Copies of this chain bind each other. A is one copy, B any other.
């Protein structure tokens, strides 16, 4: 951290007396009072606290900031007391962090969290349970199994007997917590990979002998994963990690609603089949809420295709999964109940603190494919959750989610989800109504993309041939890139930016502004202000200022 002025109080020395003190409780009443003040501010005035420290990313100042954090020596003696460290965090770090809780921060999938989430995280940290095994978590492992069953039920809606059998069974698992959606996707595809290359004759299975031996035993040369062009990049990473190769994640074209094109899927499958079995499909992926446009693939149709061809069907619902809690919109995810595996992120639309992914499986037995045991823990038949998990030591995120579900009720979450979807629709209407803008992707959930596209450009684009289209888009791309950067640097609001390829035409990229509406405090007035600001920036650019 930054060098602070040397404190004028007595020099800090690490000795046993100090250590006992800082291990157990504040050194004295003065220190305690300072801490109480800070912690109350953080625990009960979270939104005020963050709002006083607005700070949206600005490249230039990031470089300046970097220059302050270059000291790489470990201090032998203590440098600061806790209260001073917290004061630094609040006064020196927080103002230069990103105020993701601002309702004007609509650029990414990180947003405001309810203040109570911080309380729950604090308690979880204080208990310091390690859910890798019952011996370091006991009841918390049991709670985790219950919470997993609740979300499994939300997705799969099996009957009471099913959940009675599996909720607390030490032999089966309905899913697992992971650090994030990437690790959830990796876990799902890990399970799928081992399912594609199971033991056979002398071959003891892919997990045991590896991918190359698996290919040999099963007489195949390559396996592929099918997902739309809008698939999250973690799926490529998963294929890379798992030894499948990221170029074997085949990017399937999308239709004009940004959903996977089922005809393109069928064409690819036919081509693979024509190869005569040398290439196999490891998994088909449906997306429930693409990162860039928030669209939902035709989940039921994909499920039918996978069932017919016995392909592992994974749904990446990292973003859209919690939509299932809304009676009004859960139909958008119809078909998800047929997925072999499903990813959902807690730190996205379950509004949990950072660092909570989850993966669920239709079959309570399928995680056996990746089970690991050790001599000192995770013995077979124990409730040790680390047996079927990519990570070992893990914090008890399930305590937070389980508590949050009690506090919010599914209806509480539904209100948030519905607010996001409907505010995005209103935002889309506003964009359509403004001559300067063009809505690029219609919001299906609560994400939309648009761009600045002045009327002159719109007219010319309508009649332009492909070459002229590319030229015009290149100009518009530069305009939109600049608007996004200038708005970000101004620091009042933040909209992100990505590149889409309408009509799957990779030679004709379209830079778009991307809005993610998940903060319940974000309303149409704020969204109008954001558009006004973009308009103003555009005008300034035109006049050359």
Contact = CB atoms under 8 A, between A and B. Distances in A.
A415 to B, nearest CB: 5
A464 interface: no
A28 interface: no
A88 to B, nearest CB: 8
A374 to B, nearest CB: 4
Contacts of A243: 193, 206, 210-212, 242-244
B42 A1 contact: no
A454 to B, nearest CB: 24
Given A107-B135, A128-B110, A376-B498, A394 B180 contact: yes
Listed residue (A73, A113, A138, A402) with the most chain B CB atoms within 10 angstroms of its CB = A138
A18 B14 CA distance: 48
Nearest to A70: B167
Contact of A410 (B32, B67, B75, B138): B75
Interface stretch (A91-99, A264-272, A468-476): A91-99
Copies in the complex: 2
A75 B211 contact: no
A58 to B, nearest CB: 8
A118 B232 CA distance: 34
A22 interface: yes
Nearest to A114: B23
Nearest to A324: B74
A347 interface: yes
Q: Is the interface of A mostly helix, strand, loop or mixed?
A: helix
Give the residue among A68, A182, A354 with the most B Cβ atoms within 10 A: A354
Contact of A94 (B77, B127, B347): B127
A393 B75 contact: no
A167 B49 CA distance: 30
Interface stretch (A142-150, A253-261, A359-367, A455-463): A142-150
A183 to B, nearest CB: 6
B375 A208 contact: no
Contacts of A316: none
Given A125-B121, A136-B110, A212-B211, A373 B233 contact: yes
Interface in A391-415: 391-396, 399, 402-403, 405-412, 414-415
Most buried by B among A135, A137, A143, A488: A135
Interface stretch (A79-87, A301-309, A427-435): A79-87
Nearest to A216: B212
Contacts of A81: 407
A164 B82 CA distance: 28
B183 A150 contact: no
Interface string A253-290: 00000000000000000000000000000000000000
B372 A236 contact: yes
A207 B256 CA distance: 32
Contact of A16 (B85, B146, B167, B415): B415
9 contacts: A35-B44, A86-B119, A97-B140, A98-B129, A128-B353, A135-B496, A241-B241, A354-B395, A376-B497
Given A74-B153, A97-B140, 12 more contacts: A14-B408, A22-B407, A24-B114, A25-B46, A72-B149, A78-B408, A82-B407, A98-B129, A183-B391, A207-B245, A242-B243, A243-B244
